[in-house]
A and B are shown apart, each in its own frame.
Chain A
């Protein structure tokens, strides 16, 4: 139970949970976007089966790169998006099945603060109207009470009463974000999804907003889901952190533990990529520069989602191959996969037939480009040559299969379950006893570069 400013008891769906208990329980949540239509591609698998808990009073950080599904996940929790599959339980109730009054009650209990205060505040409404809008919408109190409440909220977030009749454009970025926070607090929520709340702000303004959020949390007993791509902010504010990649949570654990001792190869890569010595990451090894970009979420890899870029991918033992050699082979496989996919896309097929296809690189050129002057062992170059032959006949998929057969591993075929390791969960097959652990593999391989 929480108290509002006047000491009045407030109860909502999630209202009777004690500190440290689970507030929200997410299991196997999926959110796919289907574009529909005749020439439609496969659906975008924005969130692809994630499970985690959010405990009362904690801040759970959610980090990952753009397009990994973190915003979609936040919006789905608030029921701003419908769920494709899976459950979100709050205080024992599956909120994905709610409708009408109960659903409104959840949306009152759970609020959101958006990244861009410019587009999340209506420029034609005064600050007072913006903050009052949720009170009006939910029929909170009478007009005089609402007005008092709004003034109290403005004061609480560091603005003052006289700002009531001003318009958002008269405020700086940091002040606008304070308005957004006041609006989110209006209905005394238990749970707030903060979607990149400080990303658009300068560092000195950012620090003040973070301090405000921490004060509010302590004072009002709020629970936060803090979504960010800035890893240093998350390290400061979050108790636990979930790392997302391509719609999956790949690592989840205590923030300090994850930052000081990352387990999943993606977390290692992410932390090692932070520039500067600002004390954000403790990764002592070489920087891992990931090749390429994440795969298309319409067509995620069959096995581990990170397998196409992983710096610790499991490899077959029988080859004596340099790091550069392995990189070239993985790169070749990615090109073949992309080409094979382009062939199956209906639009692309039509384009090709009409002669609109771009000036394609021949497979010979790609091969020369990737392998260049690499000195490959005989057995490896034979297999690569066989794949080139297949691809030259137009069978990119077959060519990829040749390479997968020779150089692929369990990472390409098996989706890793969440292994309990070092006191947290990490989805990497290397956590099985028979394999070397990801950290030492990444260290060895990057040192060899």
Chain B
């Protein structure tokens, strides 16, 4: 993040976004109930930008990734919303048109690779489908891609099987396959979670280099706040299918506004002195089965007040290019703005809410 001025500069993106997700709703119809896994989220990704999507298990991060790739299968369905990519709405069955423009790297490399084909075979398959390369041209390109992702001795390793690769090497191979599609957007779903910290550092560095060389846009999904701080230009925090806070990375870490984001950051062990209890968020991430009529975080929220169980908060501006979906801010003035406009009509009774709301971040 702020240690790297180049990354900060990249946040100043302008013009049309490469990908624009608008009010996306992905639901899963099960016998018992309907699970609103992704429930009305919107965000943009610009060319060459890294957008982070962070949250705990069950928050809907991976379903968002799969929705963008068109990988949602029954009983799941994209019920509503649009995913715009270069002027086309993908949800209007345009995935084939842009097949290969968006590639995905999954968490577990061993499950993303087919154990009975060589790594080279799998890269060549992607090259054949997406770039029409065959024979020795495909082989040479496969070797070049393996070299590009930093696999030493690539001409030998191209004919090896996934089990002959170490964990970090496998993830590099998966990235090479993703690159074989020649994508503009790389969706990375927890790409380093299964890896050790020094190997993780190598993969993050690789993604950084690739982004610089190929002007790739990256959607980076993780539950690890440290990784997101390192990689993302902009961060969206997900909770129970919704984006509860969105801000440039530095801003989010310096002054998190949503109580959930504050809780997440506080519970990272390195931030609490030894011997002290770690701050915790009680309870579990709920599985949303109904359209929201309240704040989904309110049962766990340390800041909850009267209307939180009755009013669903919308994202409101809480700083420059910084939004949070929390009633604490619904009628708050923007920083530096003296007035307190109460245009929401549902402001809490005076004295029931904390005036200093989220300023402790």
Contact = CB atoms under 8 A, between A and B. Distances in A.
Question: Max chain B CB contacts within 10 Å: which of A174, A204, A232, A287?
Answer: A204
Contact of A211 (B159, B204, B280, B281): B280
A335 B152 contact: yes
B274 A275 contact: no
Contact of B227 (A205, A275, A279, A280): A275
A231 B196 CA distance: 11
A235 interface: yes
A409 to B, nearest CB: 23
Nearest to A280: B270
Interface size class of A (residues with CB under 8 A): 35 or more
A273 B229 CA distance: 13
Contacts of B264: 203-204
Question: Max chain B CB contacts within 10 Å: which of A203, A331, A359?
Answer: A203
A192 B299 CA distance: 35
A335 B205 contact: no
A276 B225 CA distance: 7
Interface string B143-168: 00001000011111111100000111
A116 interface: no
Given A275-B201, A276-B226, A277-B253, A208 B280 contact: yes
Given A270-B198, A275-B204, A207 B1 contact: no
B159 A292 contact: no
A235 B269 contact: yes
Nearest to B268: A278
Contacts, number: 141
Contacts of B202: 289-290
B274 A255 contact: yes
Interface size class of B (residues with CB under 8 A): 35 or more
A126 B202 CA distance: 43
B230 A278 contact: no
Contacts of B272: 236
A118 interface: no
Given A278-B226, A331-B152, A273 B278 contact: no
B266 to A, nearest CB: 8
Interface string A355-390: 000111100011001000000000000000000000
B229 A275 contact: yes
B56 A361 contact: no
Given A65-B198, A207-B279, A289-B205, A276 B229 contact: yes
Interface of B: 1, 3, 56-57, 147, 152-160, 166-169, 196-202, 204-205, 223-231, 253, 263-264, 267-272, 274, 277-282, 284-285
26 contacts: A65-B197, A65-B199, A203-B56, A203-B264, A203-B268, A204-B281, A210-B278, A211-B277, A211-B278, A211-B280, A232-B268, A232-B270, A235-B269, A235-B274, A236-B272, A273-B197, A275-B227, A275-B229, A277-B3, A277-B253, A278-B225, A278-B268, A293-B169, A359-B156, A360-B155, A361-B153
